[in-house]
Structure formats: C-alpha cells, structure tokens
Amino acid sequence: DALDRIKEKLPTDNRLPSTDYWLQGRGWRVNDWGQTNFPTAAHLDALSRDIPICLSDHSGHAAWVNSRALQIARIDAQTADPPGGQIQRDENGRPTGILFEDAIDLVMRHIPNATTAQITDAMREAQAYCWRAGLTGLHDFDGRSCFIALQTLHQNGELGLRVVKNVPVYRLDYAIGVGLRSGFGDEWLRIGGVKIFADGALGPRTAAMIAPYEGEPDNYGIVVTDKEEMLDKASAASSHGLSVTVHAIGDKANHDVLDVYEAVRREEASRGQSLLRHRIEHVQLIHPADQARLAQLNVIASMQPIHATSDMETADRHWGSRTKDSYAFRTMLNSGATVVFGSDAPIEKIDPLLGIHAAVTRRRADGSPGPDGWHPEQKLTMAETIHAFTTAAAITSGQEATQGSITPGKLADFTIFGRDIFTIPQDELLDVSIDGTIVGGEFKHRTFG
C-alpha cells in the first residue's frame, strides 16, 4: 500500500549510522493515500526503533515521527499540547506519532541544525535551479541561518537573485532592537516584513475554520496565533516600520487577520504613518463577507495558483460547497485588491510556469478535472497572471520604481521563454522552455549561443 511505498524510499537499518543521527524527510500526504486517517509511530518503528525519524507532511504543518523521536522529545500521555499546536493521541491519550503545527517544534528542537556552510552550498545549487526555472528574484521566509548564508553569498559577490528576506515573528524583538525596517538593504538583499502564522493548512485539516470540516463536526482546525497576540506583534512591527505578512488558509484565519489589519491601519493613521505593504499569505478560503476587506484596508493578497490545482480534490472533500470561495483569484482581483502570485516552495515546485498554467486554466498537467478547469469562474487572463507574478510582486516589496516591468531605467532582469506564452494554446504552456534568464544585465542561464 501507500505506506509501504513510503518505507521503500527510506534507508533500511543497515544503511543508517548507529548513533547521533536523525532521519528526516518530507512530502507525504494522507489524501494521496485515499484516506483521512493518519499513519502512526508504529509504521516507522517497523523501519527503526533506534534511529529517530521525523517526516514532515507536504504542507509542513504536520510531522510523522517514530517512538524513538517521541522518547527523545519526552512526549508522552502526560505532555500537554503547546500553544498553537496539537499532539494527536489515541483513545487512551497516548501520542500516536503525529504532531500538528507548533507541536512539531517539540521534536524539531532536538534535531541538529545544518551548518551555515552547508546551507550556503545548498543555496548555490538552489540559485542555479531558480535561474533555469526563469526566476530573477524571490521572497524568503526562512530563519536566521538562511539570512546569514544569503549575506555570505552577497558579500562574496555570488548572490545573483534579488532576495527580499522576511523575519520570523520569533525574531521580531531582535529585529526591532537592531533597528531593521522594511526596505533596508540594497537591490540584491533587503528586509521585507515580519512573518506570522494565523493557522495551519488544508491537508492536515488544521486551517482555522468558521464552520467545521466536512464529516468532522468537532474539527475547526487550529488557531496558531490568536487575535490578541497577533495584534500585539503586528502593532509592534508596524510602529517600528516593519510590514507584516500573515499566513492564513481557513476562512476564520483570514477573518481574524483582517480584523487585526483593520486595527493596525487605525493605529498607522493616528500616527500619520504612510501605509506599509501588509499582506495575507495564501488567502485560500475567504468568507464572502470578508472578500472586499483586503482592498478596503489596502492589504495585499499573496496567493499561489498551483495550490488551486494541487489541492482541488482535498478542498472538495474537506470544504464541500465552500470551495466556491477558495483560491478565488478572480474574486480578489475584481474586488480591487492587489493580487501577487508565488509558488510557496518547497511546498510546491518553484517553477513559475506551473503557476502560470494553473492560474489561466485551473487544470492540472494531465488535464483534470476537465476542459473548463476547477471553478473556472476564478481563472485569470495571461496578462493578469503575468502582472501578478511581476509588477504586483514589485509593489508588494515596495520596489515598483526599479522592478516589475520592462521599462527604461528599471533593473535589467528578464526571463526569455522559448515560445510566446500569450499566443500559444494554453495546453502547451507546460512544454515551454526557459531559454534565458538575465539578472542585472547578465545572463545567468541560457540555452542558445
């Protein structure tokens, strides 16, 4: 079965070191197995009871661990759920081996960190991949080690992508303490905003919902950061010149975030402060009563088209008729909100053509769910989609004067497609090659002489 296939991808005991070693992986999805029940520690114990194992799910909002990992983290029936997290338990209250949201940190804190040198080396490889995919820049939401590695590349003259570095909320006090503000930096590496998590994700059914998940009358998801704490953090960030990005998937999470931003906008107005580029990351399900509020509050909708086609079956299963208000690109754009597109890598592949195809077709690569696509009323035109990936991205980071369009005086960052994506049949978009990527007037990738 599916669990057996996963175990086939993992090394066997005789290939594992005997001490001081963790086996990590990611990418499993319960929904891909045609079920809603989660696996257990016992499944991984069959692989090893001596080596601790931690496997993150596709979304990164759930982890599957073995008994050795639970033992190291001292997670047992008496362990309380941490704020913003949940330890899944069996009928006797014992941990099953599945951890949700901030409960994952109970295990992750015991896993040795990669060194800065290792991260820097990995970034060199990742940067080259990004060039081949046609990317000239990105927004990063990783932590301190990643920021150090980015600075190392920049100082060595090796950074060839425009990077907007965002600050995890647990580093907010440090950022304020040293005086970081949104926009600090240069054309290669600059500070974006502060990242907060309002809720979980759809796949593990931890996105915070106004009404319960289909078939689960007691499951409303998980509130990772409640409104009071979120307002406290967002207010502190804003008052010190840092914009805020809040992850929100479920309709309750999006509602709560908008309430927080409404209060923050009032505070900014009372200070006579210019509007910071606050945004909601994902906006995957938004209640009809909240759909106009992003534009009213000048809050950016940062969305990922590939999620619509990747998640459609899962959304139909767990959200039912509410999916008419999910991944609502057209609704958001027509409301007057700034809609910006990205990939959410590594949750999905970073290649922008995948997102472009999803936005204009609402179909997967295999053509499913049919010629019209999933909720076709939410499709965008190619022009609207490219705007969301380029000009809107520059607006989001306050760089529209120098980036986001091919205009005299702006930075010479271009992507060269093998075919005209505005005129070819949409079914052929995923076959288009990236023939060249130019950053700062220099070819970083090219397939021609």
Rounded Cα gap, residues 396 and 96, in angstroms: 41
pLDDT, tens only, 130-157: 999 999 999 999 999 999 999 999 999 9
Q: What string of DSSP letters covers 54-71?
A: EEEETTSSEEEE-HHHHH
Band the pLDDT of 1: cuts 50, 70, 90: low
The mean pLDDT value of the chain amounts to: 95
Question: Between these two residues, 5 and 247, which has the higher pLDDT value?
Answer: 247
Q: What string of DSSP letters covers 232-280?
A: HHHHHHHHTT-EEEEEE-SHHHHHHHHHHHHHHHHHHHHHTPPPP--EE
Of all helices (H) and strands (E), which one includes residue 89? strand 85-89
State residue 413's pLDDT score. 98
Q: Topology of 116-439 in CATH?
A: TIM Barrel (3.20.20)
pLDDT, tens only, 208-225: 999 999 999 999 999 999
Residue (of 324, 33, 378) closest to 203 by Cα position: 33
State residue 8's pLDDT score. 75
Cis preceding linkage at 217, omega within 30: no
Evaluate if pTM is beyond 0.85: yes
Please tell me what DSSP assigns to residue 213: B
Average pLDDT rounded to a whole number, residues 158-183: 98
Of all helices (H) and strands (E), which one includes residue 120? helix 116-132
Q: Residue 18: pLDDT above 60?
A: no
Residue (of 58, 359, 362, 397) closest to 204 by Cα position: 58
Q: Residue 15: pLDDT above 80?
A: no
Do 2-108 and 116-439 have matching folds?
A: no
Q: Are 102 and 83 in contact (CB under 8 A)?
A: yes
**Which residues are CB-neighbours of 125 under 8 A, at least 6 positions away?**
none
Task: Measure CA 123 to chain center.
Answer: 18
- What ranges do the domains of the chain cover? 2-108, 116-439
Rounded Cα gap, residues 434 and 126, in angstroms: 16
pLDDT, tens only, 282-304: 999 999 999 999 999 999 999 99
Rounded Cα gap, residues 437 and 132, in angstroms: 7
Percent of the chain at pLDDT > 70 equals: 96
Architecture of the 2-108 domain: Roll (3.10)
Cα-flanking dihedrals φ and ψ of residue 415, to 5°?
A: -120, 130
